């Protein structure tokens, strides 16, 4: 589904290009469950943002479902994010003044979906993450675990083919984190391709594959089951 060909991403700092990602090639199949791990500053988030079409690669080609999206304009990239990609953020990024329902329905507003359908679909999505009794609560009236569930409901509301999660359990306690990962894995089991950036070896080892990044490059690829115990290879 995703093919990265010699992708590099550089940022200008003081007139000098600083590479956050270099010569990265990877293929991710449909339905895959991949963990991206590595120390801070290794380029995990940059890789995730490139794959999420929030950043344009400086070099290389990025094929999404066979189409090179690295040269698409803003409009087309927005469309792609809207319909194909769901995002889960460590810090939730919920709109504080909107209810859980309003937050979940938000992506559908810009897709031009009529209000009645938005309400219905948002309710169903909240129900599917176990929050049917919290639809009219604002984010500050929800526990952190519930907030992350709202974020998941929002991420899947447009029925994307790719789900990107940046430290999805980073702000949660172990128990909530466990529940959130089970919820995400149930979505993967239904065929949703999933990429998870994490620091937590316990989260990483649940994935089918683990990509280890260091200094902006993929340094190791491990199968999930091969990574059972011992200290994480990136520490």
Partner 1 sequence: MLLDLMSLAWSALSGHRLRTTLSVIGVAVGIAAVVALTALGEGARQYVIQEFTSIGSNLLSVLPGKTETTGAMPGMGGVPNDLTLEDLLALRRQIPSAQYIVPVSMGTETVSHGERRRQVAVIGSTPAFLQARELRMAQGQFLPPSDVERGTPVVVLGHVTAQELFPGQQPLGQVVRIGEWRMRVIGVLAEIGTQLGIKMDEIVIVPVATGMKMFNRSSLFRILVKVRSPKDLDGACDQVIAILTERHDEEDVTCITQKAVISTFSSILQTLTLVLVAIGAISLTVAGIGVMNVMLVTVSERTEEIGLLRALGATRGNILGVFLVEAMMLAGLGGIVGLVVGLGGVHLLTWMYPAIPAAAPAWAIGAALGLAMILGGIFGVVPARRAAKLDPIMALQRR
Contact positions toward partner 1, by CB under 8 A? 49, 52, 54-55, 74-75, 78-79, 81-83, 87, 89, 93, 95, 97-98, 102, 106-107, 109-112, 115, 154, 158
116 versus 235: smaller Cβ distance to partner 1: 116
52 versus 57: smaller Cβ distance to partner 1: 52
Give the helix/strand (H/E) hosting 162: strand 162-166
84 versus 146: smaller Cβ distance to partner 1: 84
160 versus 177: smaller Cβ distance to partner 1: 160
Min dist. Cβ of residue 123 to partner 1 (A): 17
27 versus 95: smaller Cβ distance to partner 1: 95
Min dist. Cβ of residue 40 to partner 1 (A): 14
Contact predicate 181/202, CB 8 Å: no
Task: List the structure tokens of 122.
Answer: 């948002």
CA distance 47 to 68: 16
Min dist. Cβ of residue 224 to partner 1 (A): 28
41 versus 219: smaller Cβ distance to partner 1: 41
CB atoms inside a 10 Å sphere around CB 206: 20
CA distance 169 to 111: 29
| Helix, strand, coil percentages in the chain from 3-state DSSP, rounded to 5 | 35, 30, 35
Min dist. Cβ of residue 178 to partner 1 (A): 26
Give me the helix-helix angle, 144-156 and 174-189, nearest 10°: 20
Min dist. Cβ of residue 204 to partner 1 (A): 23
Give Cβ neighbours of residue 37 (< 8 Å, ≥ 6 apart): 44, 197, 198, 199, 201, 204, 210, 211, 212, 213, 232, 234
Min dist. Cβ of residue 205 to partner 1 (A): 28
Task: List the structure tokens of 102.
Answer: 């309003």
């Amino acid at each position: 589904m995703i093919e990265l060909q010699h992708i590099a991403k550089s940022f200008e700092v003081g007139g000098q290009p600083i590479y956050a990602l270099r010569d990265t090639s990877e293929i991710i199949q449909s339905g895959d469950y991949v963990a991206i791990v590595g120390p801070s500053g290794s380029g995990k988030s940059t890789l995730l943002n490139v794959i999420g079409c929030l950043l344009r690669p400086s070099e290389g080609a990025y094929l999404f479902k066979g189409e090179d999206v690295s040269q698409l304009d803003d409009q087309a990239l927005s469309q792609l994010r809207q319909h194909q990609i769901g995002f889960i953020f460590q810090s939730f990024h919920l709109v504080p003044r909107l209810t859980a329902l309003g937050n979940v329905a938000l992506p559908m507003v810009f897709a031009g979906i009529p209000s009645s359908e938005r309400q219905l679909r948002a309710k169903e999505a909240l129900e599917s993450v176990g929050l049917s009794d919290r639809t009219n609560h604002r984010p500050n009236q929800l526990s952190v675990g519930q907030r992350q569930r709202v974020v998941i409901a929002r991420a899947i509301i447009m029925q994307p083919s790719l789900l990107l999660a940046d430290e999805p359990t980073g702000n949660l306690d172990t128990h909530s984190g466990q529940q959130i990962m089970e919820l995400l894995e149930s979505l993967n089991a239904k065929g949703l391709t999933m990429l998870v950036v994490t620091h937590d070896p316990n989260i990483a080892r649940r994935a089918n594959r683990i990509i280890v990044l260091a200094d902006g490059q993929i340094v190791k690829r491990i199968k999930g089951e091969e990574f059972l115990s011992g200290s994480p290879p990136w520490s």
